[in-house]
Structure 1
Amino acid sequence: MKLFSHLYTRMIQWSRHPRAIWFLAINSFVESVFWPIPPDVMLAPMCLAQPQRAWRYALVAALASALGGLAGYILGFWLFETAVLPAIELLGYQEKFELIKLWFEHWDVWVVFLAGFSPIPYKLFTVTAGMMQMALLPFMLASIISRSARFFLVAALMRWGGARMEHKLRQYIDWIGWSCVVAAIAAYLIFKG
């Protein structure tokens, strides 16, 4: 089933839209607070479509994501009991939240750095950092550095890979997409149990 190749083609088209950079900035910001779609999904095709702007796109994604991280921090700091905790309970994330709190106690700012660079949901860490009242300056530095490293790496791969990378992505996008779906389901079943 070629579901992902159609979505990929659509993302390439959107990445050429005159307001694509604004869509990228908004997605990067809200993903750091609550949104499930990572900025890479839009950043990669934008860099492929216009490689001469790859660094600019990476910078926009990194800064908007770090600002979104600050919004998540503020949400956790000021509205944890009234807004965040009910959402955690509603989604059944109590155990994951307790695990993240332990990580913060053991690794402090380094856990923010790891979450910002990796595919781990960054939003859980931004809100938790605020709730645990982590020092704001180290939190922001870790967010800016890790998000920048991640998005500039994506931009570099797309810029240097160019048309050849786009061809390979297009060729394997359905396989990659379905593999991610299977991995997400497996991860859900593992963490749920």
Structure 2
Amino acid sequence: MKLFTRLYDMTLGWSRHPRAPQYLGALSFAESSFFPVPPDVMLMPMTLAKPQRAMYYAALTTLMSVIGGMAGYAIGHFALEWVQPLIGEGGRYAHAYEKASGWFNDWGFWAVLIAGFSPIPYKVFTISAGALSMSFFPFVLASAVGRGGRFFLVAGLLAWGGEAMEGRIRRYVEWIGWSLVVLAVVAWWMIRKQ
């Protein structure tokens, strides 16, 4: 069964939709404050579908991600009790929240910058920054640099690879997809063991 190939083709189809940029912007905003799906799942196929628009897509993703990060900061600063069931003991993001809080205590600005590239969900960092009352301007600056670095790198590499990159991804998408599933299961198992 070619599950990931079908998903890849479906996502490429969505990326060519006339409203795809609005969807990308909304996803980028939501992922930084409350939604679990990273914007890369739309940024990548949109860049492959229209490589000449790669930098526009990266800029849009960065801008909306930073604005969404500000919303996450506000949630952490003003409404932490709303997300307490998710980040409190036994919550879905409890371990990630503890790790993010530790990073803030140790590195502050640099924790947010590095979080832009981290596999830990970015919303955990934005909410943690607000909850720990990190200075707002350095938070926004670190978010812009970290997230921008990630999204411009992804879009730039895919645009540079062009149609050949799309062909390579299509050829290996099943292997990549199932490898990521295995890695996610192993990571989940290791976290649960601790």
Matched with 2:106 is: 106
Once residues 27 and 83 of structure 1 are traced to their aligned partners in structure 2, the CA distance between those partners, rounded to angstroms, is 21
TM alignment of 1:43-192, pairs within 5 A: 43-80=43-80, 82-89=81-88, 91-192=91-192
1:97 Cα deviation (Å)? 2.2
Counterpart AA for 2:124:
L
Once residues 61 and 83 of structure 1 are traced to their aligned partners in structure 2, the CA distance between those partners, rounded to angstroms, is 26
Structure 1 window deviating more from structure 2 (113-122 vs 137-146): it is 113-122
Once residues 93 and 47 of structure 1 are traced to their aligned partners in structure 2, the CA distance between those partners, rounded to angstroms, is 31
1:115 Cα deviation (Å)? 0.8
1:130 Cα deviation (Å)? 0.3
Once residues 55 and 99 of structure 2 are traced to their aligned partners in structure 1, the CA distance between those partners, rounded to angstroms, is 35
Contact 1:44/1:158 (8 A) holds in 2: yes
1:47-81: CA deviation from partner (whole Å, max 9, x where unpaired) = 1111111110110000000100000000000011x
1:92 Cα deviation (Å)? 4.3
Contact 1:113/1:145 (8 A) holds in 2: yes
Counterpart AA for 1:79:
A
Percent identity between the aligned chains?
51
Which ranges in structure 1 are unaligned for 5 or more consecutive residues?
none
Contact 2:30/2:68 (8 A) holds in 1: yes
Once residues 132 and 63 of structure 1 are traced to their aligned partners in structure 2, the CA distance between those partners, rounded to angstroms, is 23
Give the length in aligned residue pairs. 192
Once residues 91 and 6 of structure 1 are traced to their aligned partners in structure 2, the CA distance between those partners, rounded to angstroms, is 33
Once residues 93 and 152 of structure 2 are traced to their aligned partners in structure 1, the CA distance between those partners, rounded to angstroms, is 31
Residue 119 of structure 1 aligns to a residue whose secondary structure is: coil
Once residues 182 and 51 of structure 2 are traced to their aligned partners in structure 1, the CA distance between those partners, rounded to angstroms, is 31
Once residues 115 and 50 of structure 1 are traced to their aligned partners in structure 2, the CA distance between those partners, rounded to angstroms, is 28
User: Structure 1 residues 36, 94: CA separation in 2 closer, same or farther (over 3 Å shift)?
Assistant: closer
1:95 Cα deviation (Å)? 3.7
Counterpart AA for 1:87:
L
Contact 1:118/1:150 (8 A) holds in 2: no
Once residues 9 and 96 of structure 2 are traced to their aligned partners in structure 1, the CA distance between those partners, rounded to angstroms, is 35
1:71-98: CA deviation from partner (whole Å, max 9, x where unpaired) = 0000000011x21112223634434322
Residue 31 of structure 1 aligns to a residue whose secondary structure is: helix
